Structure 1
Amino acid sequence: MQRNDFVSIVTKGVKVDISLHWWAALLGLALAIVLILRKLNTTYALMLGAVVGCVIGGATLSQTVDIVVSGTQSVMGTVVRVLAAGVLAGVMMESGAANRIAQTIVVTFGEKLAIFALALATMVICAVGVFIPVAVLIVAPIAIEVGSKMQVSKLALLVALSGGGKAGNIISPNPNTIAAASGFDIQPSEVMVSSFIPALFGLGMAVLLATLVQHRGQIVTMDDLNVGEKTSAHGGGKATRELPSIGRAMVAPVVAIALLLINPLGSVLGITTLTMFQVDAMYILPFAAIVGLLAMGQGRRILDYTKAGITRMIDVVMILIGAGALGGLITNSDLPDQIVRLITAAGVPGALLAPIAGILMAAATASTSTGVILGASSFGETILAFGTTPVAAAVTMQAGATVIDALPHGNYFHVSAKSMNMSIGERLGVLPFEALIGLTMTVVAVVMTIVF
C-alpha cells in the first residue's frame, strides 16, 4: 500500500489507520495563516488549523487528537534544548554582557566603519545566543546615536541591524538552529559550523546594501532615540557603568562555542578523541551560562537571570508546540508526495526542496524558528529521500527561512520598527533588502552543501 493511500500513526501504544487528503492539509495551513493575520495567538492558530485540517481530511475526533498529540510529541526534543538555551540567553541579556559586546565592537571600529560595526555587533550578539528582536533592541540606541552624527537614514540602519542579525541567527544556539538540527537528527554545532560561510556572505550583503541606501529615506535623529530607549527597556539593557568588562562578558559565549565545536572539529581534523565528545547542547548551554555568570561576579543573580531567560522562551516553546501539531497534519497527509510530484514535473532539482520549504513555511508563519520546525517535520523524510544529507538539509532550510520571515503578521516586524521609530510604511521598505540578504545566504548555503 502506498504512503498516500495509507497512514499509520502510533500514539501511546494505540494504532490508528487513517488516510488524509493533501487539500485538507493545505486548508488547515491556510486557516492557521489567516488566523495569525487576524491576531489570534499563534499557538492556538496553528493548533486550530491542524484540528480543522484533520477533521475535513477524513479523521474522526479521536484520530485527530492522536495526530495532534503525535505532532507535538515530535518537537519535544527541540523544546527541551530551547529551554536549556534560555539560561544562556537570560544571562547574556540581563547581565549586560550583550550590551557590552555591542558597545565594544562599535567603539573599536569607529565612525568610518560605523555601518559595518553595527551589522557586526548585531551578528555577534545573535551568534552568542540572543534572539534577533532583542539583539536589534540592544544595538538600536547605539545605531541611532551614531547615525544621527553621520546623517544616516533609518532605512540603512535597520538594514544593517536586521541583516547582521540574520547572519548571526543561523550560526547561533538559538531556537531556529536547534529546530533545524533536531529535525534532521544532527547536532546544533554541525548546523552552526556549516552555516558560517553563508553567514559571512549575509553580513557582507547587509553592509553593502546599507551603505548604498545610507542617504535614502528619513535621516535618523536623536529624537528617535527617546522612542527607541522606551522600546529597548525590554531588552535587558544596563547603564554603561553597570556593564561587565568585555573580557568577562565574553566568557559565557566563548565557553559555549568552544564546547559546541569540539565534536565538529574532531570530525574535520580526524581526531578520534575529539569526536568522542558528544555532549548535547542541553548540557553545554546552561553550563557555559553559569561559568560566564561566575566570571562576571554575578553568581548570586542566577535565579533572577534563569527566570528571565525561561520567561523569554515561553512564547517560543508554545509556538513550537503549535507548529508540531500542524506538522503532524502535514506529515500524515499526502501533501509531501504531491509537492514531490509537482517539483519533479517542473524539473526543479529535489535537493532544492529544503530551502524552498524553509522559505515558504517561514513566510507563512513570519518566524524563522517556526518555519524551520514546520519545514523539517513536514518535509524532512521527503527531503532526505532525494539524497540530500541531513546537514545540507538543515543548513539550507534554515538559510531559506531567513528570506521572507520578517513579515507584518510576525512579532519581529513590529519590534524592529519601534526600535528605529519607523512607521509601518517605512518598515515595509526594509523587507526587499532583508529578502536579498536572506536569499544571498540561501544561495551560498545551497552551493556549499548541495552543489559541492
Structure 2
Amino acid sequence: MYSMSAIGALLGLILSIILIIRKVSPVYSLILGALIGGLLGGFTLLDTITYMVDGVKDITPAILRILTAGVLSGVLIKTGAASSISNTIIEKLGRSHVYLALALATFFLTAIGVFIDVAVITVAPVALSIGKRLSIRKAVLLLVMIGGGKCGNIISPNPNTIIAAENFNADLFSVMYANILPAILGLIVTVYVVARFMPVMGDLVQEEDLDKEQENLPSFLSSMVAPGVTILLLSFRPLFGYGIDPLIALPVGGVVGVMAMGKVRFLKESMTYGLSRMSVIAVLLVGTGTIAGIIKASTLKEVMLSVLGNTNFGEVLIAPLSGILMGATTASSTAGATIASSSFSEIILNAGISGIWGAALINAGATVLDHLPHGSFFHATGGVTNVNINNRLKLIPYESIIGFVLTFSSVIAYYLFEG
C-alpha cells in the first residue's frame, strides 16, 4: 500500500474539469479522471480501481441519507408549502424591502431543505411580478435570490451539508448551527452591499417573462410543520444527548408535514419527485466518490498541508480551500463538498480541527465557485428568470463575492469559537 503522487491526482482532476466543461456527463468525467489520475500517478490498474471503489464505499452511508431526504424536499415542493412560505415572507416585508424579501425567501427555503436551484425556481414567479411593477432588472432579482439561497444552503439539511457531516462523522444539526452567523452576514452583504452597488445591467422584466402563480396553497403555519419537525428531531443530539439520524428525521418531518397540511394524497407524488431529484445527486456522488478515493490515496493532501503550513492561518485553510477548489471543479456545492470532505477529512482532523468545523468550513468554501457555467445551476437559474447568457455570465463575480464572504466569515467564526 503506497501513496500515489500529487501530480497524478491533479492531472485526473484537470481532465475531469475539461470533460465537464465540454459537456461530457459529470459522472463519467469524474470516473475517467479518477482512472487516468490513478494510472498516471503510479498505481497499477487493479490498485486504481480498488481506490476508486473504496472512495464510493466511503460515501455510501451519506447517499442513503440523501435519498431519504427526498421525502422532505418533495413534500415542500409538491404540496405548495415552499411557495406558501416564500409568498408569505415577501408579502409581509412588502415592496419597501423587496431585496430583503426575495433574499430571505430563498434563504429560508434552502435553510429548511429545498435545493437552491428549486428555491430560486419557486420564488422566481413572484420576484418577476414584483420586478415588473417596480422596474427592477431581472439580473438584480436573480442575484438577490441566488445570494439568499447560498446563505441558506450552508445551514441546511441539504445534500451538501449531509455529505460533509457524514464524512467528518459530525452531528448534522451542529454542522448546520456552526455557520449561522456567516449565513446572516452573507445575507446582509447580499441585500445591502452587493445588490445595491452592482452596476446597472440586464433587461427589465417584460410581460412575457411573467408566469401564473400557484393557487390553493396551504397556510403558512401548516407549511412550517414539515421543516419544524425535521429541525426539532435533528436538534435532539446536541440538546438532549440523544441522536435521531437524518435518515429518520428528514422523511418523518416530510410525512408529518403532509398530514398537517391535509394533503396526504400528495405523499406518493412528493416521494416520487423527491427521489427523482435525489437520485441525480446520488449518481453524481458515485462519480465524485471515485475521484475522492484517488485523491485520498495520493500525496496531494500532504502537499497542500506543507504549502499552507507556511501561511499565518496554516492548516485551517485546507478545509475552505479544498471546498472552493472542488466546488469550482464540479460547479456544484454538493459534489464539491463531497470530494473535499471525502479527500481531506482525515488530514483536517489530524490538524486539530473538529469534525463539526471541518465540515462547516468545507461547506462554506463550496459556495464560492459552484455557479460556474459548466454546471447545471448556472443554466437553470438563468433560464427560469429569462436572463440571457451574457448577463448571466456578468453575475458570476458578484455571486463569488457572496460565496467568499460566507467562507471568510466562517473561518473567522472558527477562530472566534474554536481557534
Asked if Structure 1 and Structure 2 have the same fold, meaning a TM-score greater than 0.5 normalized by the shorter chain, the answer is yes
For 1:149, give the aligned amino acid: R
CA-to-partner distance for each residue in 1:26-85, whole Å, 9 max, x for gaps?
Answer: 111111111101111111110111111112222222222211110100111110111111
Equivalent position of 1:255 in the other structure: 229
**Residues 152 and 215, structure 1, Cα contact 8 Å, conserved in 2:** no
Aligned residue number for residue 397 of structure 2: 432
> Is this contact kept in 2: 1:24–1:57, CA < 8 A?
yes
> 1:181 aligned to 2:168?
no
What TM-score, normalized to structure 2?
A: 0.96
Say if 2:143 and 2:195, in contact at 8 Å, map to a contact too.
no
2:157 aligns to what SS in structure 1?
coil
Q: 2:262 is matched by which residue type in structure 1?
A: G
Corresponding residue of 1:126: 110
Three-state SS of the structure 1 residue aligned to 2:309 is helix
The CA distance in 2 between the partners of 1:440 and 1:69, in whole Å, is: 36
- Tell me what 2:22 maps to: 38
Q: 2:76 is matched with which residue?
A: 92
* Corresponding position of 2:358: 393
Per-residue CA deviation, residues 307-352 of structure 1 (Å, 9 max, x unaligned), is: 1100011111111111111000001011111111222245551111
Matched, 1:73 2:38: no
Larger Rg: 1
CA distance in 2, matches of 1:218, 1:20: 48
Pair 1:159 & 2:133 matched: no
Q: Deviations over 1:92-140 (max 9, x none)?
A: 0111110111111111111111110000001111111110001001111
Aligned residue runs from structure 1 range 125-274, under 5 A = 125-209=109-193, 211-213=195-197, 216-223=200-207, 225-226=209-210, 229=211, 240-264=214-238, 266=239, 274=240
- Is contact 2:70-2:278 (8 Å) kept? yes
- Give distance in 2, aligned partners of 1:339 and 1:169: 27
Q: Distance in 1 between matches of 2:133 and 2:194?
A: 16
Q: Which runs of 5+ in 2 are unaligned?
A: none
Q: Would the aligned equivalents of 2:77 and 2:83 in 1 still touch at CA under 8 Å? A: yes
**Alpha-carbon distance between aligned partners in 2 of 1:239 and 1:362, rounded to the nearest angstrom:** 33
Structure 1 residue 451, shift from structure 2 partner: 4.4
Q: Secondary structure at the match of 1:370?
A: helix
Tell me the SS of whatever aligns to 2:17: helix
Q: What is the one-letter code of the residue matched to 1:246?
A: F
Greater Cα shift, 188-197 or 201-210: 201-210
Q: Which amino acid aligns with 1:77?
A: P
The 8 Å contact of residues 209 and 433 in structure 1, kept in 2 or not, is answered as: no
Q: Displacement of 1:184 after TM fit?
A: 0.7
Q: Does 1:367 align with 2:332?
A: yes
Q: Which moved more, 1:205-214 or 1:291-300?
A: 205-214
- 1:379 and 2:353 equivalent? no
**Cα distance in 2 for residues equivalent to 1:332 and 1:376:** 14
TM-superposition CA deviations, 1:272-297 (whole Å, max 9, x none)? xx11x211011000001000011111
- Check if 1:49 corresponds to 2:33: yes
Output aligned runs, 1:319-334, within 5 Å. 319-334=284-299
Distance 1:23 1:365 in 2: 19
**Mapped partners of 1:164, 1:101: distance in 2:** 15
Q: Is the 8 A contact 1:402 1:438 kept in 2?
A: yes
The alignment of Structure 1 onto Structure 2 pairs a total of residues equal to 417
Query: For structure 1, which runs of at least 5 residues remain unmatched after alignment?
Result: 1-16, 230-237, 267-273
Query: In structure 2, how many angstroms separate the alpha carbons of the residues matched to 1:443 and 1:223?
Result: 40
Quick one: distance in 2 between partners of 1:239 and 1:202? 29
Q: Deviations over 1:165-205 (max 9, x none)?
A: 00111111100010110111112111111111111111111
Out of 393, 414, 418, which is 1:449 matched to? Answer: 414
Could you tell me which residue of structure 2 aligns to residue 300 of structure 1? Answer: 265
- State the identity %: 39
Deviates more, 1:86-95 or 1:334-343: 334-343
Q: Which amino acid aligns with 1:402?
A: T
CA contact (8 A) 2:155 2:177 kept: yes
